Amino acid sequence: MIAVVSCSHYPDDERIYHKEIKTLAEKKYNINYFTLSDSDQDLSDNYINHINYSSVKHSVKEYTNLVELEIRKTSAKVIHIHEPELFSLAVNIKKLTGAKIIYDVHEDYVSMIYTFSKWNKYVRYLKSKHWLLKEKFFLKHVDEVIIASSTIVNSDFKIQGFSPVLLENFPLSTFVNNIDISHKIKNSLIYHGNMGPERGITELIESMVHVVKNIPDAKLSLIGGFRTNEYKYEVNRKIDKLGIGKHINLKNHILHQDIWRYLAKHSVGIIPFNENLLTSTNTPTKLFEFMASGCQLVVPSLKPITKYDFKAAKFFKSGDILDLSDMIIKSLENIDQNGIKYNSNKIRSDYNWEKNSYKLIDLYHRILK
């Protein structure tokens, strides 16, 4: 039995559920999948037992106590965690049962502290140092480390004696369909994912004023959850103030399995990220999802993006609203069908989960031998 535990991701998270858990289930590993969310979605299936606790009723601490009680009832040989908030849970289970710990690192957390913290630079420095010490202590109990990007270093896993398994967030090749440009909505734009000021959502909205002056029927879909209620209010207020409500469609989080039909309808996929420590470190998964869906690309000239091989793209300077709007206009005016086909084939040949999933199976074979 394997216990996979998450406390902040949606239950149908692309990486955790659609890729890792389903890959393990295909190899007939029995999995207890624990989540904390406001979703009533039950993802139980052959070899997968999904147990969700309500995030409305339970704090993270209460959740970890409940999960610990459940895991103690089973003979879990592995506890696979996806957030630092689960450090103590993993250590407690290991001490009680001897289970192996897999630490799956989605983000460079030091970058997140520096990007999101509202404290001054001195306090941010102290907070990051404290977090690194906490992670180093936890790593003494860890058996394997998985990272989502080669740029994720945190407390420097190699110095701690680990050879992290790199599992990049490439899409499943099954989601790559034959692309028909004629079926896409003309002058349609899409961004999907978390929405916060660090991701350039405000700048993207402001850029639409210039876009619609040149392309009056241009429409932007913004799909995803807001990082804070305050920012949600700010975005809606900005849209009303600029008078571009009819050009922007706001939607809440959509199940991962359903997002693909939205992507398939849109002509241009936009990554509006501002430049900060986080966006200069992590590669956005949506880059590959746009490529797989036949979207033209408007992306910032940031190294975590430009290091990959793709075409049909317009690059803009992060934070430059006029440059962003100009690139959107140019992208809508010139559909590069050959480049779109090149990107789709690149997903099929290189940037797909199936090509790398063997690393996960090899890790589990190694840890359970």
Question: What does 110-159 look like in DSSP terms, one character per residue?
Answer: HHHHHHH--S-HHHHHHHHHHHHHHHHHHHTT-SEEEESSTT--TTTTTT
CA torsion sign for 269, 20, 105, 4 is positive
Reported confidence tier of residue 75, pLDDT bands at 50, 70, 90: confident
d(CA 193, CA 230): 17
pTM: 0.89
Output the pLDDT for position 178.
Answer: 63
Dihedral in degrees, nearest 10, Cα atoms 289, 294, 298, 300:
40
Q: What mean pLDDT is predicted for residues 337-366?
A: 94
Residue pLDDT, tens place only, 144-202: 999 999 888 888 899 989 999 999 999 988 777 666 667 899 999 999 999 999 999 99
User: Which domains, and CATH codes, for the chain?
Assistant: 2-170+352-368 (3.40.50.2000), 173-349 (3.40.50.2000)
Question: Is 320's pLDDT higher than 70?
Answer: yes
Rounded Cα–Cα distance for residues 309 and 319 (Å): 23
- What pLDDT score does 177 carry? 64
Element of type H or E holding 36: strand 31-37
Yes or no: say if 269 and 282 are a contact pair by the CB < 8 Å rule. no
Q: CA-CA distances (angstroms) from residue 28 to 31, 45, 69, 247? A: 9, 11, 25, 47
Number of Cα atoms under 13 Å in the Cβ half of residue 329: 16
